[in-house]
Amino acid sequence: MMRDMRQQLVRQILWNRLIAVVEEQANVLLKTAFGTITREAGDLSAGVYDTRGRLLAQAVTGTPGHVNTMATAVAHFLERYPAAALKPGDVLVTNDPWLGTGHLFDFVTVTPAFLDERLIGFFASTCHLIDVGGRGFVAEATSVYEEGIYIPHLKLAEAGRLNDTLLAILMGNSREPTQVRGDLLGLLSCNEVASRRLAAMLREFGLEELDTLGEHILATSRGAMLEAARRLPRGTWRAAMRLDGYEAPIDLCAALSVTEDGIHVDYAGSSPASRFGINSPKCYTDAYTSFGVKCIVAPEIPNNAGSLSVMTVSAPENSIVNPLRPRPVTARHVIGQMLPELVFGCFEEPLEGRVPAEGAGSMWVMGFAGGPLVAGASAQATPFNVISIAIGGMGARPGKDGLSSTAFPSGVGAIPVEITEAQSPLLFRRRELAQGSGGEGRYRGGLGAVIEIENTEGEPFSIACATVERRHHPARGRAGGGDGRVARLALASGKILPGKETYVVPAGDRLIAEMPGGGGYGKRR
């Protein structure tokens, strides 16, 4: 018994050390990234994998849309670059939307980790690059070929030597070449640091490989997730949600089934793929579906290949949640980040009283640009290309109000206004909570934010509205709670900006964006 207790203690220590390794990996990326959406908002992920490419542990820092897609992405790399052929100093890279994390802006890097020339595992990391050419961060493209440069599975470095040709091509196709190079090197660096930390950890404990510990981690996580799933009632439950969409409203339909073998979500009945770039590739759909299930069923169980294997997802081909190449996908999170809310709706009946109301769901990634190329601008206008994150309210919870201006389910933070103002002539005249935007009820829905922006140069500037959602279909209340307030995007002069297109804010005018509020929970007493 004492031996078993000692072995259990050692495994727990090793697990904690492994988490520390991937957290350091993520923090290296945070500290070295050039792009504000990575270093300020935390739009990234980091993880460690066994020699078969199975996710063992993820950093807490990061987003489900990245880490859960990376759970399967490493296997795609190994199909093209077998593990036995990789050497110390090799780094693999891709931004394939269907085999990576859902759109061209996210680059995934994979680095094999070695101990005395022997492969012991892999580290993977992802972050959002500010610009990859094409039309930019807009949803107006009608094919992925218009959305930016595509990098198939290639080597970013080989035996420690950077692929300068690949870097030159990427920089030559970006409006922000310095930031692109800096972020890619940050991805490379964080994997390298983590590889050194893992080798040091194994040496400290006298271990020669990671796979034995990995098998224990995956088996334990899968067993715990199965046990949690088996505590649920058996059956199938359905939910539906209507969104603004692009050219037409979008219907998302889900059927969640709980069986002895796990949990399955089927999106049959969901709208066909859009002609424009709001489609969610299957990898991204899987990622946020699994996250939604796990939030309700077993949030405390580690997120890895073991626990993820208990959840499966199916979706009709060429639907909005499973578009086929070459459908456009830039703003895929408009759909993908609504899926946890839809999953919560499926759980409402079997878990009555334990499921929160709907929230704003997808965050708004607002791309601002200025300079002589903007319609109506002078030749002296300062060129800029910046991103700001706008966030709505979460749904009210059973027993608590919803969190205000909180990016669920993405988990990213807002980019400080001071950063955006330092990088451009934009000025945020207001950034505050939109009072009254949360749905009423026994527990109030979270409040959205309201922001007001102008160009201090008196020049026009453009805003890409690709991810603006819930202007017509609010976050719904639950258990008798009221709906959240819908979003609003307008000019101070009174003009409403109705769609997901790119608009120009005229010289001297201001942009006012009001985020949607979360739904309320329960009837007011």
Bigger pLDDT: 310 or 3? 310
Retrieve residue 420's tokens. Answer: 């955006």
The two three-digit tokens of residue 448, written as one number: 């959205």
Give the helix, strand, coil percentages of the chain, each rounded to 5.
Answer: 30, 25, 45
- List of residues 6+ apart from 94 with CB closer than 8 A: 73, 76, 77, 100, 107, 108, 151, 152, 153, 154
What whole-number distance in Å separates Cα of residue 412 and Cα of residue 44?
A: 9
Same domain? For 368 and 506 the reply is: yes
Strand partners, 257: 236, 264
Lowest mean pLDDT among 37-41, 119-123, 473-477: 37-41
Other Cβ atoms less than 10 A from the Cβ of 219: the count is 11
pLDDT tens for each residue of 85-116: 999 999 999 999 999 999 999 999 999 999 99
- For range 263-290, the mean pLDDT: 98
Pair (420, 316) in one structural domain:
no
CA distances to 34, 107, 458 from 71, in Å: 25, 14, 47
Q: What is the pLDDT of residue 409?
A: 95
Residue 216 belongs to some domain of the structure = no
Q: Is the pLDDT of residue 2 over 70?
A: no
354, 385, 414: which is the final residue of a domain? 354
Residue 425 placed within a domain: yes
Domain check: are 387 and 515 in the same one?
A: yes
Looking at residues 317-342, what average pLDDT do you find?
A: 98
- Of the pLDDT bands very low, low, confident and very high (cuts 50, 70, 90), residue 62 is confident
Residue 222 covered by a domain:
no
Smallest CA-to-CA distance from 60 within 20, 13, 111 is with: 20
* Same domain (yes/no): 58, 115: yes
Which residues have a Cβ under 8 Å from the Cβ of 450 and sit 6 or more positions away?
Answer: 430, 431, 432, 433, 434, 512, 513, 514, 515
Question: What is the arithmetic mean of pLDDT over 457-484?
Answer: 97
Residue 525 has pLDDT above 80, yes or no: no
| Domain coverage including residue 481 | 356-525
Specify whether 403 is located in the same domain as 455. Answer: yes
> CA–CA separation, 206 vs 209, rounded Å?
9
* Residue 89, phi then psi, degrees to nearest 5: 95, -5
Reply yes or no on whether the pLDDT at 364 is more than 70: yes
Give the mean pLDDT of the chain: 96
Instruction: Based on the fold, state whether residues 419 and 514 are members of the same structural domain.
Output: yes
Let me know if residue 519 belongs to a domain.
Answer: yes
Q: Up-side HSE of residue 51: CA atoms within 13 Å toward CB?
A: 15
Using DSSP, state whether 199 is helix, strand or coil: helix
Of 354, 386, 420, at which residue does a domain stop?
354
Confidence label for 163 from pLDDT (cuts 50, 70 and 90): very high
CA 184 to chain centre: 18
Q: Six-digit token pair at 64?
A: 């489900």
pLDDT of residue 445: 98
Same domain as 144, residue 11: yes
Overall pTM surpassing 0.75 (yes/no): yes
For residue 242, is it within any domain?
Answer: yes
396 domain residue, yes or no = yes
Residue 61 pLDDT class (50, 70, 90 cuts): confident
Cβ atoms of 138 and 42 closer than 8 Å: no
pLDDT at 1: 63
Average pLDDT of the segment spanning 314-335: 98
With cut-offs at 50, 70 and 90, classify the pLDDT of residue 284: very high
- Identify whether 517 is part of a domain: yes
CA 114 → CA 13, 203, 208, 281, 385, distances in Å? 21, 12, 10, 33, 40
The values of phi and psi at residue 240, to 5°, are: -140, 155
Q: How confident is the model at residue 140 (pLDDT cuts 50, 70, 90)?
A: very high
Which residues make Cβ contacts (< 8 Å) with residue 77, sequence separation at least 6? 53, 92, 94, 110, 153
Q: State whether 371 and 309 are in the same domain.
A: no
CA dihedral 134, 37, 46, 264 (to 10 degrees): -70
Q: What is the number of structural domains in the chain? A: 3
- Strands (E) across 9-166 are located at 44-49, 55-58, 91-94, 106-115, 118-128, 154-158, 161-162
pLDDT for 168: 98
Query: Following CA atoms 373, 377, 381, 383 in sequence, which dihedral angle do they give, to the nearest 10 degrees?
Result: -30
| 79 and 177 within one domain | yes
- 522 with 406, same domain? yes
Question: Within a domain: residue 472?
Answer: yes
Digit-coded pLDDT (tens) for 207-229? 999 999 999 999 999 999 999 99
Domain limit, last residue, from 171, 193, 209: 209
Determine the pLDDT at residue 356. Answer: 97
Give the count of beta carbons closer than 10 Å to the beta carbon of residue 171.
15
Same domain, 184 and 272: no
Q: Is the pLDDT of residue 275 over 80?
A: yes
Residue 369 has what pLDDT? 96
The Cα–Cα gap between 182 and 185 comes to 5
| Angle in degrees, 0-180, between the axes of helices 211-230 and 282-297, rounded to the nearest 10 | 70
Q: How far is CA 106 from the centre of its chain?
A: 10
Q: How confident is the model at residue 8 (pLDDT cuts 50, 70, 90)?
A: confident
Looking at the structure, do residues 363 and 454 belong to the same domain, yes or no?
Answer: yes
Burial class (CB in 10 A: 0-12, 13-18, 19+), 306: buried
Q: Which residues contact 339 (CB under 8 A, 6 or more apart)?
A: 252, 254, 280, 285, 288, 289, 292, 321
Cα separation of the two ends of the chain = 55
> Which of helix, strand or coil describes residue 47?
strand
